[in-house]
Structure 1
Amino acid sequence: MKICVALLLSAACLVSGGAAKAQGRPTKPTAATNTAAAPVHVTPSAGDFARPGDLHVWFVDVEGGQATLFVTPQGTSLLIDTGWEDHNARDADRIAAAARAAGLHRIDFVLITHYHEDHVGGVPQLAQRIPVGTYFDHGDLYEKVDINQQIFGAYLQELERSHARRVSVKAGDRLPVPGLDVLALSSEGKVINRDLPGGGAVNRYCEQEPVPHEDRTENGHSLGVMITFAGTRILDLGDLTKDRERMLMCPSNRLGGVDIDIVSHHGWEQSSSAALVHAIQPRVAIMDNGATKGGSVPVLDVYRSSPGLETLWQLHTSEEGRKAGPRENTAEAFIANPPGVDGNMIELVVHRDGTFAVKNDRTGMVRSYGRK
């Protein structure tokens, strides 16, 4: 399939396949919700979207994995996860292209949420394309099945080959990323044991959720973080599952409110309980789903009904959602890759005054968000 990756205002055309996954551990890929009528602001040039002093974030399409690149105004870079291995280095090439578009010659920090192949698999191929300074992770491999051991082994081999620094993070640690406040909320199956500013209120949504079963995979050991810039709070919990969400959110909401929620687990229904999503009340949610991986109807429904949500953005139209009905996916204007298309990114900029904007790189359409 011929695809185009939008890089700022230019596009690079690539060739790629599609995405699929079974419950739990990821398998090889095969190639919401908010429909509010708020006005959409379309900007004619990149200069109207990004300003000097912005935090710039690229949500790279790795077709149902994760690869989210943060670049601070000072040029410090943090990449959360590296997508899949193989696919003729498709994901590594897309990440490296985004890094070049950002003016980077190296990635200072790579945060690996957990050791499933759609999150850490791309490390060796990416490191062949751009140097990495430091890796953050949750420690040792927890789910020791064959594919995970292979992927984890390749990660350790790359660390040894490149002599990159490795820092294993515990819940409650602050990550030393200049220009960003990065707080670890979860790691190794544990969660932070104190309230964040604005947190601590009784969470009434806990009563509406059945108590989930304990997750025994790498997902529940995800290194999840809260990233704060200019007072704007961005939540990324990796693939953290509902049982660990409950540890964070019940009986009281330790997190308080969130401005931007990077939807956990690609929008799969093992994550994103109402006890989390409805309690943190994000203004914007960005889902790094693939066409046939993530974007579960129950999760789309949770976000559609979330109090205060202004926009759900999706990297792909969810096929599951499309089959369920025309209103399950978010409006097409907020989808980077509709059916038959892939490779386009979603971009986020956070301004120094705490306002922010999100752009669909497929169309150039921008929606701006004022201070709350």
Structure 2
Amino acid sequence: MRFLRTCALLLVPAGVLSAAKSLEIFFIDVEGGQSTLFVSPSGETLLMDTGYGGYNGRDGARIAAAAKAAGVKKIDYLLISHYHADHAGGVADVAAKFPIRNFVDHGPDSETDKDSLVLFRMYSSFRDKANHILAKPGDTIPIKGLDVKILAGNGETLASPLPGAGEPNPACAGYKPDPDEFEGENQRSLGLLITFGSFRILDLGDLSSSREHNLVCPANKIGTVDVLVASHHMGTAASTPEFLQVIHPKVAIANNGPRKGGDPRAWQRVHDTAGLLDVWQLHYALGAGKEHNSADTFLANIDEICQGKWLRLNAEKDGSFTVSNSRNRYEKSYK
């Protein structure tokens, strides 16, 4: 009996001490659109955007490949940041491959041209058969083990600072709106902050400088983050210095395509941010030149005609994380 009891005592810690699961994130190449898969330690999933439709189901297949690598067989939350074809066009392809439990969006489409109406009608045909969550700034998406906070949506931004944030931002005085900025679906994007223990990742969809400004001026409502998904595919109208210097990311991710996003001016602003260690890109930006692209090591896809390789991030509760490149299997850890 004494032997059996001793064995039992030895067996219990083995289970207790097994490695805790991490937050797993796949940045999927949808050729200049967006699709990001978050897999929580509890196994629940959030897919932010679906890339394009068409192209013989290209983006749906790439999302399915990433999901298979993560062991994902269902989507608990499909969050559509806004109703442009590069973000919501692939809904039908994703719905054909996975059951989707909840659809999250900012409300009706604000654009009424023919193509927009067709896209929103397609999206609604799937959304209306499932649970629909209308997300507003300040809301939380209930995923076990994560804090998923909506910071922006339908043109509005968070009204009050998050806990621990609220420091004045002295750089705000120099802000000037981008003259090319327009009010449409981009500015209605859902933006979110995901927190896992001490790890924080910020993704503001296609918001540009005016909404970024609202979140950090006159005071920083967000605080600092570990990882920034550069807004609007690292487009020129986003990622301004007064925004970047107070959120203070260690790593930036650019979900650009070979000929979309990855603007050299935005890349330089992000690259020059104090404390930033690396910029990882889904594509080499053909129009930016070597001087405004990261080293090939940090690029998931180098050639314009590519295999759609992804970037993968694994984060731990202590705030440490590792980014890996599926093209060359290079990985780098950050603390």
Q: 1:78 to 1:216 in 2, by over 3 A?
A: same
For residues 320-361 of structure 1, the C-alpha deviation after alignment (integer angstroms, 9 at most, x for no partner) is 212xxx221111111111124340100000023221100011
Structure 1 residue ranges without an equivalent (≥5): 1-50
Q: How far does the alpha carbon of each residue in 1:176-204 deviate from its partner, in whole angstroms, 9 at most, with x for none?
A: 12221011100110001111133212212
Percent identity over the alignment? 41
Question: Partner letter of residue 281 of structure 1?
Answer: H
| Letter of the structure 1 residue corresponding to residue 150 of structure 2 | A
Distance 1:152 1:180 in 2: 29
Partner of 1:81: 49
Deviation, 1:215, is 2.9
Task: Give 1:211 deviation, angstroms.
Answer: 2.9
> 1:43 aligns to what?
none
The answer for the alignment partner of 1:189 in structure 2 is 155
- The aligned counterpart of 2:166 is 200
Q: Highest Rg: 1 or 2?
A: 2
Instruction: Tell me which of 271, 291, 297 is aligned to 2:264.
Output: 297
Q: Which residue of 2 aligns with 1:331?
A: 295
Partner secondary structure for residue 321 of structure 1: coil
Query: Matched residues in 2 for 1:80 and 1:365: separation?
Result: 25
Deviations, residues 268-293 of structure 1 (Å, cap 9, x unaligned) = 11222222122211001011000000
Task: Identify the match of residue 242 of structure 2 among 275, 284, 295.
Answer: 275
Specify the code of the residue in structure 2 equivalent to 1:328: H
Cα shift readout 1:8-31 (whole Å, capped 9, x = no counterpart): xxxxxxxxxxxxxxxxxxxxxxxx
Q: CA deviation at 1:159?
A: 2.2
SS of 2:288's partner is helix
- The answer for the alignment partner of 2:328 in structure 1 is 363
- Cα shift readout 1:54-85 (whole Å, capped 9, x = no counterpart): 11111111010111001112211110000001
Take 1:211 and 1:219, find their aligned partners in 2: how far apart are those partners? 15
TM-score, L = length of structure 1: 0.82
Q: Which of 226, 229, 232 is matched with 2:199 structurally?
A: 232
Q: One-letter code of the match for 1:277?
A: L
Structure 1 residue identity aligned to 2:311: I
Task: Give the alignment of 1:57-68 within 5 angstroms.
Answer: 57-68=25-36
Q: Which runs of 5+ in 2 are unaligned?
A: 1-18
1:52 Cα deviation after fit: 4.6
Q: Tell me, what secondary structure is at the counterpart of 1:266?
A: helix
TM-score normalised per structure 2: 0.91
C-alpha distance in 2 between matches for 1:191 and 1:140: 17
Q: 1:264/1:342 Cα in 2 relative to 1: closer, same or farther (>3 Å)? A: farther
CA distance in 2 between partners of 1:217 and 1:241 (Å): 11
Distance (Å, rounded) in 2 between the aligned partners of 1:269 and 1:198: 30
Q: Which runs of 4+ in 1 moved over 6 A?
A: none
Q: Secondary structure at the match of 2:194?
A: strand
Is the counterpart of residue 150 in structure 1 residue 105 in structure 2?
no
C-alpha distance in structure 1 between counterparts of 2:37 and 2:185, whole Å: 22
Equivalent AA in structure 1 for residue 323 of structure 2: V
Give matches, 1:11-50, under 5 Å.
none
Shift of 1:225: 0.5
Counterpart residue number, 2:280 = 313
**C-alpha contact (below 8 Å) 2:106/2:134 kept by paired residues:** yes
Instruction: Give CA deviations for 1:291-320 in whole Å, capped at 9, x if unaligned.
Output: 000000110111111011011100001112
Task: State the shift of 1:96 in Å.
Answer: 1.1
Q: Conserved in 2, the CA contact under 8 Å of 1:143 and 1:216? A: no
In the alignment, the residues of structure 2 paired with residue 275 and residue 112 of structure 1 have an alpha-carbon distance, to the nearest angstrom, of 27
Aligned residue identity for 2:271:
R
RCO higher in structure (CA 8 A, sep ≥6): 1
C-alpha distance in 1 between matches for 2:74 and 2:288:
38
Contact 2:199 2:316 in 1 (8 A): no
Equivalence for 1:18: none
